[in-house]
Chains A and B, each alone.
Chain A
Amino acid sequence: MSTSTPAIHAQKAEIFCQDEARVDWHSKALWVLREKRDRAAGSLPEWEQLRQIGSEMKLHTLTHLAQYLEEFEQNCIQNNIQVHWAKDGAEHNRIVHDILAKHDVKKLVKSKSMLTEECHMNPYLEQRGIEVIDTDLGERIIQLAKQPPSHIVVPAIHLKKEEVGELFHDKLGTDAGASDPLYLTRAARAHLRQQFLSADAAMTGVNMAVADKGAVVVCTNEGNADMGANLPKLQLHSMGIDKIVPNIDSAAVLLRTLARNATGQPVTTYSSFYRGPQEGGEMHVIIVDNGRTDMLKDKILAESLKCIRCGGCLNTCPVYRRSGGYSYNYTIPGPIGIAVGAKSDDTNSIPWACTLCGSCSYVCPTKVPLDKIIHHHRRLKAEAGKLPYGKASYMPLVGKFMASETALNCSMSMARTALKILPGSLLKPFSGAWGKYRELPIAPNSSFEAWFKKNRG
């Protein structure tokens, strides 16, 4: 159960689906988040207006990105913030290590950053003798369990409290058999306080980078980003180029939708604006491309960079909820994970981990057209000759067959008769993977076309 060994999505999902009760539990936990999100969104009459403005503002920024990035850098420099640029994950990690090595950092406390996951920064630093402590509770849990995140907002959603209890007993010395979330959270608080107080440097992700101020905005509920960044004298913030917003008014729009869409809260507990280091401290911002400028070269893929990483699309996705975060061959799972990760999926299967139901696009607070993007990825895979599941061999035949009226009508008529007169056990094998978890349909008496001609024609 790890993202590190690539296998096609369906195979990985099958592993997750072996425990049916657990799948139901997982699906329900995420659906609760979706319901909370619906209540929060429904309580604002201007919700749809906010989505529209959020989308347009992000598109405006993405189409003026060079200008805003330069403005952001200039303002940061005036605020005594040092700015670094990294073309890819490797360069990002080198820059971070150089800064930490220069200050002889032995322990780094880190709050949630999907970008550093994307860059595989933790192992890079650990190999060079720097201890990296993830400080978000969910992230600390999976770090202790040596697992990657299975969700971008609630990274340990796949674990039960008893499993966390066992892990904490083993690693933090909590009572054996204790699984009360309050008790376990308090134990983690005490443990992580020691880490905050003894860290040599802190690192955070960036939710928004405000161009006209030269400030970064970091949102957490736990306060871990601020406990980290405001104790040691060295603070680092890693951001993708897509995190820029023009001004604080724009940030305010996203702050109104981010938490509501993620967990149903009206706003995250802490929305912190860093416009310079603390007294006597040092602040660095690392701006990372890592494939984003490539995405901007494709009109459809470009829109995935409007994403603000609320996780709303994961919570609503019927495939994610029933296949888990480790089925996607990418750090980010779910619809947005397919959108930004399909290109690097060597199994070429994740664009098909989707029913194209479109629910993700409808909940997205910046109107990322996720279903359209996922569909586009299928086209790109086909054009590159990389269709999975044998689709390259049979899809052209299916295409020809469906295009011929005679062939289609004849065979559908035969299928209806077969469904009526032949036993299911004989027919089931012909339904392939589709029939694995489904019953065969009850055959109608005629085709829709015939029904329509008779009743409405």
Chain B
Amino acid sequence: MSSKHDILNALKSAAIAPQAMPVINISPRIDDLVGQFETSLNTVAGTLHRDGGLAKLQAQVDEHIANGMQIISMVDGIKANRQVTETAHQLKDIDYAVISGDLAVAENGAIWVNNKNLGHRVTPFICENLFLVVDANNIVANMHQAASRITLAPGEFGTFIAGPSKTADIEQALVVGAHGACSLNVYLI
């Protein structure tokens, strides 16, 4: 007999009577979504650029390129100096990655990124610094709304990114920049 069979069989002797699935009906806080999002993003150590959009981002990218930085852009309209590499490992020297987020969550500063916008899945993690671009109309109030709007087709990978990577594992001292990106700048368009 297989272990699967044994486990499923053992579950038949569970002691608790079947419970109904609760209804999830939590009213969202819908005032000033951009303001809420900015506050949350600051809390998770990210920075929001409300105005200027892609032009401001391109200027920032150009400046970094002039300073010798390696930048990959996965966003239409932003030109950088690196292309998608053949292997994921070859991204190891990327200083900045520019990526599109599908939607942003006001309550916690998280941005949903689907692997269609990534090239290699590791791109937003392996880069030293991350630029995310989000449409200001795609800010939702909370995770319940986000859950109903995100796309994750069969076989895909997607992630909520809330700020740069961080840790407090040494004496609870917050250090921004653990294994993923060391900074996150979000540009609204």
CB <8 Å contact, B158 and A272: yes
Expressed in whole angstroms, the minimum distance between the Cβ of B169 and any Cβ of chain A is 4
The reply to whether the CB of A125 lies closer than 8 angstroms to some CB of chain B is no
Residues from chain A with a CB closer than 8 A to the CB of B122 are: 226-227, 230-231
Residues from chain A with a CB closer than 8 A to the CB of B160 are: 255, 267, 270-272
Which size bracket describes the interface of B in this complex?
35 or more
Return the CB mask of B13-36 against A: 1 if under 8 Å, else 0. 111111111101011000000000
A252 touches which of B14, B109, B143, B177 (Cβ 8 Å)? B143
CB <8 Å contact, B26 and A160: no
Residues from chain A with a CB closer than 8 A to the CB of B4 are: 73, 85
C-alpha gap A65/B172 in the complex (Å): 37
C-alpha gap A85/B169 in the complex (Å): 33
CB <8 Å contact, B11 and A222: no
Give A52's nearest chain B residue, CB to CB. B22
The reply to whether the CB of A62 lies closer than 8 angstroms to some CB of chain B is yes
C-alpha gap A52/B25 in the complex (Å): 12
C-alpha gap A191/B28 in the complex (Å): 43
The reply to whether the CB of A96 lies closer than 8 angstroms to some CB of chain B is no
C-alpha gap A65/B121 in the complex (Å): 32
The reply to whether the CB of A358 lies closer than 8 angstroms to some CB of chain B is no
C-alpha gap A182/B168 in the complex (Å): 10
Return the CB mask of A247-272 against B: 1 if under 8 Å, else 0. 01111110110000001011111111
C-alpha gap A197/B126 in the complex (Å): 10
C-alpha gap A113/B156 in the complex (Å): 23
CB <8 Å contact, B179 and A227: yes
Expressed in whole angstroms, the minimum distance between the Cβ of A294 and any Cβ of chain B is 8
Expressed in whole angstroms, the minimum distance between the Cβ of B3 and any Cβ of chain A is 4
Interface window among A14-22, A130-138, A341-349, A423-431: A130-138
Apart from A185-B167, A230-B120, A256-B107, what 14 extra A-B contacts exist at CB < 8 Å?
A52-B22, A53-B22, A57-B24, A60-B19, A154-B169, A185-B175, A221-B178, A253-B144, A256-B108, A265-B44, A266-B44, A267-B44, A271-B159, A298-B15
Chain A residues at the B interface, C-beta cutoff of 8 Å: 29, 32-33, 44, 46, 49-50, 52-53, 56-57, 59-60, 62-66, 69-70, 73, 78-80, 85-87, 91, 135-138, 141, 154-157, 159-161, 164, 181-182, 184-186, 189, 192-193, 196-197, 213-215, 221-224, 226-227, 230-231, 241, 246, 248-253, 255-256, 263, 265-278, 287, 289, 293-294, 296-299, 302
What would 9 A/B residue contacts be, using CB atoms closer than 8 Å?
A53-B26, A136-B169, A141-B169, A154-B168, A181-B170, A221-B165, A267-B44, A269-B161, A269-B164
